[in-house]
Amino acid sequence: MSRKLRVAVIFGGRSGEHEVSLRSAECVIAAMDPARYEAVRYVIGKDGKWSPSPILPEPGAHADIDAVFPVIHGTFAEDGTLQGLLELADLPYVGAGVMASAVAMDKDMMKRVCRERGLPVVEYLVLGRDDLDVDRVTRELRFPIFVKPANLGSSVGISKAHDRAELAEALRTAAAYDPKIVVERGIEGREFECAVLGNEDAAASAPCEILPSRELYDYEDKYELNLARFELPAKLPESETSEMRRLAVECFKAVGCEGMGRVDFLRENATGKIYINEINTIPGFTSISMYPKMWEYSGIPYSQLIDRLIELALERHARKKATRFTR
């Protein structure tokens, strides 16, 4: 009998998505085949302290770990910082690398990369925390306007403004979470998600539609109210479903992602145009999260999805080992 793979599951973290991470991690661990894997928990507290001990940034320091499964969302984790640590430790890990994680986390940089590839993104502006220029925004964009911290997830700090007073408050709220603020033209339309899986051979699942319980699909609607609904598969013409899947893979490739990603879309009612909203490199894995549900609908059950993600991590690490780093 072959030895079990020892998988370090890292979760928790210093971001506003700490609690979501705890729930996602327990679902991932529960889905791991105990005949194949031994899960080892590494918890990062809200204060940034590790339990039972931190992973050290030294090759060979963790010879007992075969792979790492980061299930940790937001800043200080999903933004390339944790991935950098794992690269220094020379450990295989699930999901995007340093550069792709950082680009995907920054809503401005993600949009720049997509736009350079000719992929559709909504018109937007970038403001600094010390320059919350309401006049500039209202000159260049019409209400309603979405205001977002550039680097945060789970819709934390995001507001929808309908007038100047709401816009000023939304900018102050976003600025509390990030020194860079993304301000977007509000799209009146429908919201969709599409899951992507793979390395060079990335493929997209059937998309789903999000039906929020209120005007903004925010943190409370995602994780607390339990009133948002989902349509899987999304009710779209086949041509639009195919286009959404194509755009999901193209976005994944443009950003340089590997392993997994969930691409979020907006479909404008007035024009029927599909826009890429953002890409999440460590999507939720809770019992209600749509990333595993979309793959389950598309033929890959949760436990097999975990298997495939770990395989992809090991494949990428083996490929990196064939690369020279010295003369």
Look at residue 313 and tell me if it is in a domain.
no
Per annotation, catalytic residue among 284, 298, 307, 316: 284
Please say if 95 is a catalytic residue. Answer: no
The predicted-structure confidence for 95-151, as pLDDT tens digits, reads as follows 999 999 999 999 999 999 999 999 999 999 999 999 899 999 999 999 999 999 998
Give the contacts of 39 (CB within 8 A, at least 6 positions apart). Answer: 7, 9, 29, 32
- Amino acid letter for position 77: A
Residues 108 and 193 in one domain: yes
Strand 5-12 versus strand 67-70 pairing type: parallel
For residue range 156-179, what is the model confidence (pLDDT) as tens digits? 789 999 999 999 999 999 999 889
Per-residue model confidence as pLDDT tens digits over 272-302: 999 999 999 999 998 789 999 999 999 999 9
Whether residue 168 lies inside any domain: the answer is yes
pLDDT of residue 173: 94
| pLDDT value for 156 | 75
Catalytic entry in 66, 191, 264, 307: 264
**157 and 38 in a common domain:** no
**What is the length of the chain?**
327
- Confirm whether 33 is a catalytic residue: no
With contact defined as beta carbons under 8 Å apart, do 297 and 237 qualify? no
The pLDDT value recorded for residue 292 is 96
CA–CA distances in Å: residue 6 to residues 35, 145, 198, 244, 285 = 11, 47, 22, 36, 20
pLDDT confidence tier of residue 214, bands split at 50, 70 and 90: low
Residue 147 sits in a domain of what CATH number?
Answer: 3.30.1490.20
Q: What is the pLDDT of residue 153?
A: 61
Domain closes at, from 185, 204, 231: 185
Residues 87 and 165 grouped into a single domain: no
Q: Is 196 found in the same domain as 107?
A: yes
| Residues 286 and 215 occupy one common structural domain | yes
| Shared domain check, 262 and 134 | no
Catalytic residue among 262, 267, 307, 316: 262
Same domain, 163 and 191: no
* Residues 260 and 309 sit within 8 Å (Cβ to Cβ): yes
Q: Which residue has the higher pLDDT, 111 or 213?
A: 111
Q: What is the count of structural domains for the chain?
A: 3
Mean local confidence (pLDDT), 42-61: 96
The verdict on 72 and 128 lying in the same domain is: no
Active site residue 42: no
Residue 262 annotated in active site: yes
Same domain flag for 32 and 106: no
Tell me whether residue 41 is in a domain. yes
Which H or E run contains 197?
Answer: strand 189-198
Residue in 17, 184, 191, 218 annotated catalytic: 17
Query: Does 326 map to a domain?
Result: no
- How many percent of the chain have pLDDT more than 70? 94
Q: What are the tens digits of pLDDT across the range 247-264?
A: 999 999 999 999 999 999
What are the distances in angstroms from CA 77 to CA 71, 83, 102, 175, 324? 9, 7, 10, 20, 27
pLDDT for position 56: 97
226 is catalytic: no
* 210 and 178 within one domain: no
Residue 244: pLDDT above 90? yes
Q: Are 152 and 277 contained in the same domain?
A: no
pLDDT tens, residue by residue, 56-77? 999 999 999 999 999 998 888 8
Residue 151, both tokens? 């680097």
In a domain, 325, yes or no: no
Helix (H/G/I), strand (E/B), else coil: 170: helix
Q: What is the pTM of this model?
A: 0.91
Give me the domain span that covers residue 258.
102-121+187-304
Q: Which long-range contacts (CB under 8 A, 24 or more apart) does 23-30 make?
A: 23/286, 23/287, 24/71, 24/73, 24/284, 24/285, 24/286, 24/289, 25/71, 25/72, 25/285, 27/285, 27/286, 27/287, 27/289, 27/302, 28/69, 28/71, 28/285, 28/306
Sorting pLDDT into bands at 50, 70 and 90, what band is 193? very high
In the predicted model, what is the mean pLDDT of residues 30-58?
A: 96
Helix (H) or strand (E) holding 268: strand 259-268
> Does a structural domain hold residue 310?
no
Any domain includes 237: yes
- Which CATH number fits the domain that encloses residue 23? 3.40.50.20
Q: Is 154 a catalytic residue?
A: yes
Read off the CATH number of the domain in which 217 is found. 3.30.470.20
Q: What DSSP character marks residue 205?
A: -
Whether 327 is covered by a domain: the verdict is: no
Statement to judge: residues 162 and 197 lie in one domain: no
